[in-house]
Amino acid sequence: MSSKANSKADLEHAPQQGRIGFIGLGRMGTAMAANLAAAGKDVLAYVRRPEQVTKLLPLGLKPTTTFSDLFDCAVVVSMLPDDAAVQQVTFGRKDLSIAGLLMGLMPGAIHLSMSTISPAIASQLASEHARNGQSYVAAPVFGNPDAAKAHQLYVIAAGPQPDLERCQPIFDALGQQTFAVGDTPATANLIKLVGNAMIAANLEILGEICALAQKRGLDTRELLAILTATMFGSRFHRIYGGKIADQEYRTGGLVFPLALKDVRLVLQEGEMAGVPMPTLSVVRDRFLTGIARGYSELDWSALGLLASEEAGLNIESVKSGATRGATHDEHRELNGSPAASAGPIT
């Protein structure tokens, strides 16, 4: 086929301008997609299971259970839990002859990955999309499902400048601030990972401090009020510190397996760069301990629960209040991890 014919075909099958595809409808993804729809965006939301369709319609979304429906979108957002899930929706399933975004998206379309994944995979996806005449933008976010609902996410975005400008209306609809960090997508993912590593390390020390306070008869809420009013007044310290001070550990937020994944990725980056990270090695082991004790469905603030246990505190009331025994899919749905609804593209 001649270059002229190719040009005509590209025009005939150009992406539908303004239509946004969305993959990954867990708690986090659903809140984000709903905010896009509320902002007047045309959002096509992919779900694996037909029974999920009725839940999305009242949110102004246009659900589909056919993955290939996304291929006509100008931008496809993926909000998935890990490298493997993002790779599957990008590369497809060769064993089942199912095309992923890489083979299905039209030239000029953007794959906007808002997932927390490794810098190495981000670089691979950016390279492969460019080879196919598509664009790739990495834009992981800081914030939990409640922040997502309130349009209070912080977006860390990296990619070619023209593509960042095309995605900016999406960022504006989702978050309170966007940090553009260059044209290399891997940069955004590294920043998100080190941010999560700092949160995890802080949760560990918060848990230890609150356990000490309890054993010495201090009011943990009063202690937290003093600390947040002086040197540690971030939103993170107030929210997660409050959970630990009150020993309220529930499902929601970033659960132990996903937090462990992020810490491991940062440790890999440190090893490759020749940077020892002994504090994070301890935090990694703490998440492993929590998973071994059956806390896989709990928010990562439950590092405070481990600290209480090891301090010999009475935690039976805490355990009874925690949601336990959810199925794997329920765990992912409850905790803003979209893989349950995105699922295999079959």
The alpha carbon of 4 is separated from its chain's Cα centroid by a whole number of angstroms, namely 42
**Catalytic residue (one of 94, 149, 192, 215):** 192
Strands 153-157 and 141-142, by their bridges, are: antiparallel
Q: Residue for token digits 């981000």?
A: 122
Name beta bridge partners: 22: 45, 77
Predicted confidence (pLDDT) per residue in 26-40, tens digit = 999 999 999 999 999
3-state helix, strand, coil in the chain (%, to 5): 60, 15, 30
Yes or no: say if 101 and 111 are a contact pair by the CB < 8 Å rule. yes
Other beta carbons less than 10 A from residue 230's beta carbon:
8
Strands 135-138 and 62-64, by their bridges, are: unpaired
What is the token pair recorded at 272?
């490759």
What is the token pair recorded at 254?
């970033």
Q: Going residue by residue through the chain, which has 346 residues, state the pLDDT in tens, using 9 for 90 and above.
A: 333 333 334 444 555 568 999 999 999 999 999 999 999 999 999 999 999 899 999 999 999 999 999 999 999 999 999 999 999 999 998 877 789 999 999 999 999 999 999 999 999 999 999 999 999 999 999 998 989 999 999 999 999 999 999 999 999 999 999 999 999 999 999 999 999 999 999 999 999 999 999 999 999 999 999 999 999 988 889 989 999 999 999 887 799 999 999 999 999 999 999 999 999 999 999 999 999 999 999 999 999 999 999 999 977 644 444 443 333 333 333 233 434 444 557 6
* Angle 146-150-151 from CA coordinates, rounded to 5°: 115
Annotated active-site residue 192? The verdict is yes
DSSP 116-157: ---HHHHHHHHHHHHHTT-EEEE--EE--HHHHHTT-EEEEE
183 CB-near residues (< 8 Å, 6+ apart): 158, 159, 160, 161
Predicted confidence (pLDDT) per residue in 255-284, tens digit = 999 999 999 999 999 999 999 999 999 999
- Dihedral of the alpha carbons of 138, 338, 177, 240, in degrees to the nearest 10: -130
Strands 110-113 and 73-78, by their bridges, are: parallel
The alpha carbon of 346 is separated from its chain's Cα centroid by a whole number of angstroms, namely 22
